[in-house]
């Protein structure tokens, strides 16, 4: 039996895995886990199926004459050595782009050693799944609080009033809010006599559990939130409490909010002015309240302004950094805002993309322009791509154009565990060990946990595969001129010595360890709880570090040392938002996404237990729209957008707002040349053939994946 932290989503559940030899017999929720107390979802329960999936890659693949062949690790690295350094030599570092996908955030080796490789590679063309996800929140937090990683999370277990916008945590299990068993925690709010309000164009499972649901028009959250801010000022309900001396810019916010009256936003948002006033009053009057916005508020045209306004509301109601409000977690390891020296104040746009001149945010550039960077000739043109646990051919906008662009590359490497929609285009595929074959610690996610915890998982099973951190160091050796056989141990010692130096520690303190264990041990030692890895090894079900703590002003790393409530790099986008005020809905249909409990973006559809049953890749249409458009439940429809068209089955349902249709992402497993038998038998259609790569949040470059104009007709 092994106590394992599930690395599949942000909830970090503790699981109990039992084995028969090296076969996984059963996966259950670990009742003794200090954070998840036995909670498990269908994905966690299929960790065994994932480990034993015959299609999961267990050897590197190299494409020879258009066909993938299994090769030894030495041959795979020799191939990369033969092709990558000459390309960099001839065309420069920026000719190699990176695309780093979501599972990297759940993978200790890739997190800690990926950055070593990316830095050695030295390219400015770093693309990630962040610009189809949460980058607006980094942007707003960076300018508000000084660090893009200082993101307040709702103090779920103590709050009395929770306003959720654009999130469906009952299905997603929470995001930028690490909270195993969200359902139990939300019910706890109601048991304590509190209230949950959901703002979402769909009546989701979370909306059904909530006390109140408002079916907003997609893309208009910033208007709603601004109107709530307006009401707070208008009715003299702004009370910063102990934050007063720590906040700059309140008057500027009052002025900016003046034109966003509830009456002015009611038309565009579809929410009545009186309702908006009541939402603001109830938020202000609650003893402890938190506003929480997630991907429905970030992957839209005003993602950054909406993300900013979420925390403006938290601040103006005195709920920021107060128990039961929105608080800053204090993670045990690796949290930049709790380290010494403090990070430099946040800044974006230190460089810009070549073709469109879009600014970097946190060292990343918008994935919406990756195709153009590949297809547009000239100095700095991208000619090679390395994907690290990413599937951009299903996950990013105008996937057809991107796929065409990837086919033009001179060289492509995928670090991936499947031969799928994206990795099939690579020249070399380097697989990593399964979740049960690698150690785990959630360096990234504990920074957003609703309770401070630390939980270490050693590898449960042995493996012949190199760990991905070793692969990262071999790649580092190749791009730094040390060749394919560089001394990995020496490189690792060097990385550890650097990490120790930055943390002001003697590297010898962790000398008996290597790899991620050594780095994590150093990070824990340098962290705020004076822990070591040995302490965590002695506590297989985790260490509880208590409820969230007040951190203002210590957490603030702005130049002023204060919360900058009206930062210019954000407020400069307010005039664009104000232009939405005059616009009346023009009757066009808009497309949004959705998630399912048994999905994990694009990549777990090869597991029978997660795809059996009805086809989930349908377009949901409101009955009124269906009647008007001649669509019938179970019939086929063609959905068109500027970018492309797909055919999907129709699901007529009143859970969706009239004028809005919804299709889940992560489907479309129909390209040739993949090795995913189960997914190929349940292909669905790729909704990112419809999303438009030219549509982005103006500030952060995050793609608009919600609120895409579409036309729909019977097939
Ligand atoms: N229309 C629309 N599009 C969306 C979204 C949406 O809501 N609507 N959501 C967006 C969001 S939030 C995200 S995060 C992105 C996700 O976008 P991506 O990160 O690009 O895609 P994933 O589906 O997470 O694919 C992960 C890849 O990693 C591989 N993998 C899994 N485990 C490992 C491992 O341990 N090691 C390695 N090396 N590889 C591994 C899988 O095989 C798969 O190829 O999708 C985005 N796309
Ligand atoms: N089961 C499962 N869990 C997952 C994932 C998965 O694919 N499947 N993916 C993981 C990842 S990578 C992430 S980032 C998280 C995301 O976690 P969440 O943000 O909770 O994700 P969603 O369930 O897509 O919820 C977004 C909600 O926003 C709504 N929405 C769409 N447009 C708008 C809008 O304009 N305004 C408002 N207010 N709402 C809108 C949608 O209807 C949807 O209900 O989930 C993670 N967890
Ligand atoms: S909720 Fe997330 S962490 Fe928990 S078992 Fe499911 S996939 Fe794993
Ligand atoms: Mo995501």
Strands 212-214 and 195-199: parallel
What CA–CA distance (Å, rounded) separates 422 from 674? 9
Measured CA distances, 218 to 705, 706, 708 (Å): 10, 7, 9
> Mean of the pLDDT values across residues 488-509?
94
Mapped onto helix, strand or coil, the DSSP state of residue 78 is: helix
Whether pLDDT at 585 is above 80: no
Strands lying side by side in the sheet with 384-388: 67-70, 61-64, 428-430, 411-415, 384-388, 96-100, 126-128
Would you say 236 and 220 are in contact if contact means Cβ atoms under 8 Å apart? no
> Mean of the pLDDT values across residues 461-485?
97
> Mean of the pLDDT values across residues 290-295?
98
Q: Which atom of ligand 2 is nearest to the CA of 102?
A: 12
* Dist. CA 310 → ligand 3 center (Å): 26
Q: Which ligand is nearest to the CA of 597?
A: 2
CA-nearest of 232, 149, 187, 148 to 39 is 187
Model confidence, pTM? 0.98
The domains of the chain, with CATH numbers, are 2-52 (3.30.200.210), 61-132+351-543 (3.40.50.740), 135-328+553-577 (3.40.228.10), 586-714 (2.40.40.20)
Q: C-alpha angle 426/430/432, rounded to 5°?
A: 140
> Mean of the pLDDT values across residues 276-292?
98
pLDDT at 584: 78
Measured CA distances, 346 to 34, 125, 139, 147, 445 (Å): 34, 20, 9, 5, 20
What CA–CA distance (Å, rounded) separates 632 from 635? 5
For the chain, give the percent of residues with pLDDT over 90.
96
pLDDT at 400: 98
Each residue's pLDDT tens digit, 449-460: 999 999 999 999
For the chain, give the percent of residues with pLDDT over 70.
100
pLDDT at 421: 98
Mapped onto helix, strand or coil, the DSSP state of residue 437 is: helix
pLDDT at 628: 97
pLDDT at 343: 84
Please classify residue 497 by burial: count the beta carbons closer than 10 Å to its beta carbon, then call 0-12 exposed, 13-18 middle and 19+ buried. middle
639 vs 342, which has greater pLDDT? 639
**Which residue's CA lies nearest to atom 23 of ligand 2?**
168
pLDDT at 586: 82
Please classify residue 143 by burial: count the beta carbons closer than 10 Å to its beta carbon, then call 0-12 exposed, 13-18 middle and 19+ buried. buried
pLDDT at 250: 98
Radius of gyration of the chain (CA): 24
Whether pLDDT at 462 is above 80: yes
Band of pLDDT at residue 55, cut at 50, 70 and 90? very high
Would you say 599 and 605 are in contact if contact means Cβ atoms under 8 Å apart? yes
**Tokens in use for 211?**
């006390």
Q: Which residues have beta carbons under 5 A from ligand 4 (an ion)?
A: 133
Alpha helices in 92-204 (DSSP H): 108-121, 135-145, 169-172, 182-191
Whether pLDDT at 340 is above 80: no
Q: Which ligand is nearest to the CA of 132?
A: 1
Q: In terms of residues, how long is the chain?
A: 715
Kindly write down the DSSP assignment for every residue of 409-427, as one continuous string.
-SEEEEE-SS--TTGGG-S
> Mean of the pLDDT values across residues 103-130?
98
Nearest-10 crossing angle of helices 108-121, 488-503: 100
pLDDT at 146: 97
Burial readout 527-563 (b: 16 or more C-beta within 10 A, e: otherwise): bbbebbbebbeeebbbbebeebbebbeebbbbeeebb
What CA–CA distance (Å, rounded) separates 310 from 571? 14
Mean pLDDT of the chain: 97
> Mean of the pLDDT values across residues 94-109?
98
Mapped onto helix, strand or coil, the DSSP state of residue 92 is: coil
pLDDT at 511: 83
From 174, 406, 603, give the residue whose CB has the most ligand 1 atoms within 8 Å, as the site to mutate.
603
Each residue's pLDDT tens digit, 532-571: 999 999 999 999 999 999 999 999 999 999 999 999 999 9
Least confident of 23-32, 237-246, 362-371, 509-518: 509-518
Whether pLDDT at 98 is above 80: yes
Whether the bond into 341 is cis, omega within 30 of 0: yes
pLDDT at 272: 98
pLDDT at 613: 92
* Dist. CA 209 → ligand 1 center (Å): 28
């Amino acid at each position: 039996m092994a106590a394992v932290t599930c690395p599949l989503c942000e909830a970090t559940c503790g699981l109990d895995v039992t084995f028969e030899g090296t076969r996984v017999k059963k996966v259950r929720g670990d009742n003794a886990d200090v954070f998840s107390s036995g909670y498990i979802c269908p994905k966690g329960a299929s960790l065994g199926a994932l480990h034993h999936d015959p299609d999961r890659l267990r050897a590197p693949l190299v494409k020879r004459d258009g066909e993938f062949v299994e090769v030894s690790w030495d041959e795979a690295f020799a191939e990369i050595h033969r092709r990558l350094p000459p390309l960099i030599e001839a065309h420069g570092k920026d000719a190699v782009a990176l695309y780093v996908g979501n599972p990297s955030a759940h993978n200790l080796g890739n997190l800690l050693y990926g950055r070593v490789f990316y830095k050695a590679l030295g390219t400015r063309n770093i693309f990630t799944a962040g610009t189809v996800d949460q980058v607006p929140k980094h942007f707003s937090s960076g300018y508000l609080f000084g660090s893009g990683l200082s993101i307040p999370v709702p103090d779920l277990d103590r709050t009395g009033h929770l306003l959720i916008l654009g999130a469906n945590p009952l299905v997603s299990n929470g995001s930028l809010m690490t909270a195993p068993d969200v359902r139990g925690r939300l019910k706890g709010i109601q048991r304590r006599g509190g209230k949950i309000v959901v703002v979402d164009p769909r009546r989701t499972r979370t909306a059904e559990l909530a006390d109140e649901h408002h079916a907003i028009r997609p893309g208009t959250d910033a208007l709603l939130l601004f109107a709530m801010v307006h009401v707070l000022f208008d009715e003299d309900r702004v009370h910063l409490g102990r934050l007063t001396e720590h906040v700059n810019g309140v008057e500027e916010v009052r002025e900016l909010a003046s034109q966003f009256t509830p009456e002015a936003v009611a038309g565009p948002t579809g929410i009545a002015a009186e309702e908006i006033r009541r939402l603001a009053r109830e938020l202000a009057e609650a003893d402890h309240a938190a506003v929480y916005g997630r991907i429905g508020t970030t992957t839209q045209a005003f993602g950054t302004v909406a993300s900013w306004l979420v925390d403006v509301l938290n601040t103006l109601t005195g709920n920021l950094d107060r128990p039961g409000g929105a608080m800053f977690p204090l993670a045990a390891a690796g949290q930049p805002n709790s380290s010494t020296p403090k990070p430099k104040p946040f800044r974006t746009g230190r460089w810009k993309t070549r073709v469109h001149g879009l600014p970097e945010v946190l060292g990343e550039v918008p994935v919406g322009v990756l195709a153009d960077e590949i297809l547009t000739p000239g100095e700095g043109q991208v000619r090679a791509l390395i994907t690290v646990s990413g599937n951009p051919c299903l996950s990013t906008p105008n996937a057809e154009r991107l796929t065409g662009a990837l086919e033009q590359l001179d060289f492509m490497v995928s670090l991936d565990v499947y031969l799928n929609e994206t990795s099939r285009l690579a020249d070399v595929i380097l697989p990593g060990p399964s979740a049960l074959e690698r150690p785990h610690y959630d360096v990234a996610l504990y920074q957003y946990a609703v309770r401070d915890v630390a939980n270490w998982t050693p590898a449960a099973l042995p493996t012949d595969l190199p760990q991905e951190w070793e692969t990262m160091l071999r790649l580092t050796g190749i791009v730094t001129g040390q060749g394919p056989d560089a001394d990995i141990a020496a490189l690792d010692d060097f990385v550890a010595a650097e990490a120790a130096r930055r943390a002001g520690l003697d590297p010898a303190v962790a000398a008996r360890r290597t790899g991620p264990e050594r780095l994590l041990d150093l990070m824990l030692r340098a962290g705020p709880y004076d822990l070591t890895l040995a302490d965590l090894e002695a506590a297989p079900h985790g260490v509880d570090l208590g409820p969230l703590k007040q951190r203002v002003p210590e957490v603030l790393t702005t130049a002023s040392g204060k919360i900058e409530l009206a930062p210019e790099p954000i407020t400069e986008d307010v005039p664009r938002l104000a232009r939405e005020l005059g616009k009346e809905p023009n009757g066009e249909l808009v497309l949004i996404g959705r998630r399912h409990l048994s999905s994990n973006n694009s990549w777990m559809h090869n597991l029978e237990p997660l795809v059996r049953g009805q086809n989930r890749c349908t377009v949901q249409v409101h009955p009124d729209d269906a009647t008007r458009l001649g669509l019938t439940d179970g019939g086929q429809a063609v959905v068109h957008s500027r970018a492309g068209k797909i055919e999907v089955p129709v699901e007529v349902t009143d859970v969706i707002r009239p004028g809005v249709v919804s299709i889940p992402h992560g489907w479309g497993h129909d390209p040739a040349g993949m090795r995913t038998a189960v997914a190929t038998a349940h292909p669905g259609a790729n909704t990112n053939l419809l999303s438009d790569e030219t549509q982005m949040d103006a500030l952060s470059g995050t793609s608009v994946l919600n609120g895409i104009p579409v036309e729909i007709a019977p097939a």
